[in-house]
Amino acid sequence: MGGAGFIFTGENDADIMHNSATINLNVLDACHKRSIKRIFYSSSACMYPAYNQQDADRPNCIESSAYPAEPDSEYGWEKLFSERLYLSYSRCYGLEVRIARYHNILVPRVLGPRREKAPAALCRKIALASDGDAIEIWGDGLQNPSFLYVSECIEGTLRLMRSGFHGPC
């Protein structure tokens, strides 16, 4: 999907919501028609209310904090909608659904400016800056993000898919 420079500007909201919802509706419809038994949905921590993550010392990402819903972006609203969509297919059609709410997945290569995660964005800004230039840093510097390397993400996803766990994690 991209990093904060893509998701949180507001410029891409319609495309993000349209494309993601369309993909998820089509995937679920195809799974239902073909009697697929188990499916994985990659959600996001962006579905949590923004105020849950504003205290850098005590971010709150437990399940009971997800509602009442108040995501910080249209991307977060789409993720929340799609979680509910997948869970509805589980209840109504018996589809075994596994949902993980990822935060920041680091990959060896980035998609380019505005699509990268914080470490790559900071490195790019520093590398492109001339001596004496200021670089733009988002936030107040007190954020405490979590990062997961892609190989660990794959391993965790495989374990989740093989488990009997139901519900978002």
User: Per residue in 13-48, pLDDT tens?
Assistant: 999 999 999 999 999 999 999 999 999 999 988 898
75 is catalytic: yes
Q: How far is 100 from 126, CA to CA, in rounded Å?
A: 33
Quick one: tokens of 50? 């923004």
Is residue 157 scored above 90 in pLDDT? Answer: yes
* Marked catalytic residue, from 41, 48, 67, 75: 75
Quick one: tokens of 152? 């660990």
141: left (phi over 0), alpha (psi -120 to 50) or beta: left
Tokens 């997948």, residue? 86
Reported as a single tens digit per residue, the pLDDT across 66-124 is 888 999 889 999 999 999 999 999 999 999 999 999 887 877 766 665 566 666 777 77
